[in-house]
A and B are shown apart, each in its own frame.
Chain A
Amino acid sequence: MTMPIIECRGLHKWYSGVHALKGVSLAITRGEIVGLVGDNGAGKSTLIKILSGVHRQNAGDVLIEGKPADIRTPKHAMRLGIETIYQYNATVPTMSIARNLFIGREPLQWSLFGIGLLDQARMRQESVKAIADVDLHLRSPDALVGELSGGQRQGVAIARGMHFKSKVFILDEPTNHLSVKETNKVIGFVKGLKTQGITGIFISHNMHHVFQSCDRVVAMARGEIVFDKPAADTSIDEVHDYL
């Protein structure tokens, strides 16, 4: 077996007395799209918050490409190649597409103590390309993200991760609050990850979305992984029995 791109070993997390993760171990190989399902409070969010640097585990290890990684902040996770697409969408509606693509990672012409002049020409050029790469056709990188549909906004967030060559995408219920048509678009983006050899962890309440786009289904309940099978070898009914 090849080395997993991301691996958790015995992760534990307590929140003021609640044992949210009880020794979760999970190894994901490069290019795999894993569907993570489970009820509210099953520990899905806790697990991905640890992987995306929002929270830290109380015990256990995270390994990225075999190397132990202590993910301290969201920025640190991004630097390690882990990009998270949040359900509330991490784009700023009052800013342009080009600026959104580079939020927090702006290319600078020069800088002093980390503050400097934006390379706006490069931002516009590269954002046009990044957007086209995810098959999103938008008229201008200067359009405000607030004018886009919900699915297009998720597309911008995914284009952002692609542009920064993220290795692992965590998609935290990216289809919430979207229409059927927009949802299909986002599922298309998820499938697109695979063709580019990018690993995905797709969290969703909707089993149909998971089976449409994932290679493997992992189910959590009460802070533990209770089910883990290739999507081709199982069915929605079987997964439901474990939840």
Chain B
Amino acid sequence: MKRFLKIYLEKPELAGAVLLVVLVVLFQLRSNGVFLSAENLRGMLGLLPEMGLVAIGVTVLMICGEFDLSVGSVFALMPMSVAIMLNADVPFAVAVLVGLAICALVGFINGFVTLRFAIPSFITTLGMLFMARSMTVVISGGFPPLLPADLPTWLFTRYVGPGGLIRMSFLWFGAIALLMAALLSLTNLGNWIKASGGFLEAAGAMGIPVNRVKITCFILSSMLAGFAGLVQVLRLGSPLPSIGDGLELQAVAAAVIGGTALTGGVGTVLGAIVGALLIRVIDNGLVLTQVDANWFKFAVGGLTIFAVIANSWLRRTARGIRVDQHA
């Protein structure tokens, strides 16, 4: 029994998951059952992949000990460049691949500059936040380009599943989340990511190519952010240069709520999803329970601080539980 308690208390996403359940129950009661209705779930789950994908990328990067503040800007830059290519009659698939390659390049620059000049990634990606946003506005020419009408948007936006509960984008999100979770916990690269963030000197001394591991995570983070931006633009039907503004901090909040340590080495993909879902639940729940929506940021902020305190308390408690061999 003690052993099980310890195992669960050590799960970094536990605090977030408990909060999620509490909030869902609370909103369900306060909204007289509307919150968990199929109609509302459709809306909520339809939006989740966009923020969830960004949170996963940011989480993996944080586990390996680095930050990415540029994800919000890349979220806008990627679909904007795709839209411009589409308007120049580039086929959809090619435009998307080139768009993802641009994201990969941004991620590579983030990582390369951070490691080559040994500066905090907080600074590098803060710079990239401004630069990528500026580029987005510049290439849009001030007027958001129109998307051609014959795009395979159904690949991302069509409702599927029982009762049309989820969008296609949710399937992409689920598949990517599973892939990333498997990468982290089942592969040697996942081991290296955790080791690089957990204790960089040890990872290097044991022969792990830490710089390559980190650059890989920077690239992943950028590509997931760009892909998420594309999903949102295809849902909205128009590439606005302002989308994703402030998303970088929400993604960090989601990661932290989900139990990712700011110091690196600790975190899970499930935690990132729990964090992202919590933020969506608050956003949606406040509206349904007729609370002034301006309280949204207040709630997310309070929750972030609370989750971190709860997590460190849980971890200390888990550590205090001594399990002997035969328990």
Interface residues of A (CB under 8 A from B): 54, 73-75, 78, 84, 86, 88-95, 99, 102-106, 108, 111, 114-118, 120, 139, 144, 147
Contact B203 A118 (CB under 8 A): no
Dominant SS at the A interface? Answer: loop
Interface centre among B10, B208, B261, B319 (most CB of A within 10 A): B208
Chain B residues within an 8 Å CB radius of A93: 198-199, 265
* Closest A residue to B326 using CB positions: A139
Interface residues of B (CB under 8 A from A): 10, 186-192, 194-195, 197-199, 201-208, 261, 265-266, 319, 323-325
CA distance A222 to B187 in the complex (A): 46
Specify which of A54, A75, A86, A103 is in contact with B195 (CB 8 Å cutoff): A103
CA distance A147 to B189 in the complex (A): 24
Dominant SS at the B interface? Answer: helix
Specify which of A104, A111, A115, A147 is in contact with B206 (CB 8 Å cutoff): A104
Given A90-B206, A139-B325, CB of A95 within 8 Å of CB of B195: yes
A-B contact pairs, 8 of them (CB 8 A): A54-B205, A75-B207, A92-B195, A102-B191, A103-B191, A120-B186, A139-B323, A139-B325
CA distance A133 to B191 in the complex (A): 24
CA distance A105 to B191 in the complex (A): 10
Contact A115 B205 (CB under 8 A): no
CA distance A80 to B203 in the complex (A): 19
* Closest B residue to A88 using CB positions: B201
Chain B residues within an 8 Å CB radius of A86: 201-202, 205
Among all A-B residue pairs, the 7 with the closest Cβ atoms: A75-B207, A94-B265, A92-B198, A94-B198, A104-B206, A106-B188, A90-B202
Chain B residues within an 8 Å CB radius of A108: 188
Contact A103 B325 (CB under 8 A): no
Chain B residues within an 8 Å CB radius of A139: 323-325
Chain B residues within an 8 Å CB radius of A147: 319
Contact A118 B187 (CB under 8 A): yes
Given A74-B207, A147-B319, CB of A99 within 8 Å of CB of B191: yes
CA distance A74 to B261 in the complex (A): 28
Contact B187 A92 (CB under 8 A): no
Contact B206 A74 (CB under 8 A): yes
Specify which of B186, B190, B199 is in contact with A92 (CB 8 Å cutoff): B199
Chain A residues within an 8 Å CB radius of B324: 139
Chain A residues within an 8 Å CB radius of B188: 106, 108, 111, 114-116, 118
Chain A residues within an 8 Å CB radius of B319: 147
Contact B189 A94 (CB under 8 A): no
CA distance A59 to B190 in the complex (A): 39
CA distance A54 to B205 in the complex (A): 8
Chain A residues within an 8 Å CB radius of B266: 94
Interface centre among B187, B265, B319 (most CB of A within 10 A): B187
Chain A residues within an 8 Å CB radius of B204: 74
Contact B187 A103 (CB under 8 A): no
With contacts A104-B192, A139-B324 known, what are 16 further pairs, Cβ within 8 A? A54-B205, A86-B201, A92-B194, A92-B195, A93-B199, A94-B265, A95-B191, A95-B194, A99-B194, A111-B188, A115-B187, A115-B188, A116-B188, A117-B187, A118-B187, A120-B186
Interface centre among B191, B192, B203 (most CB of A within 10 A): B191
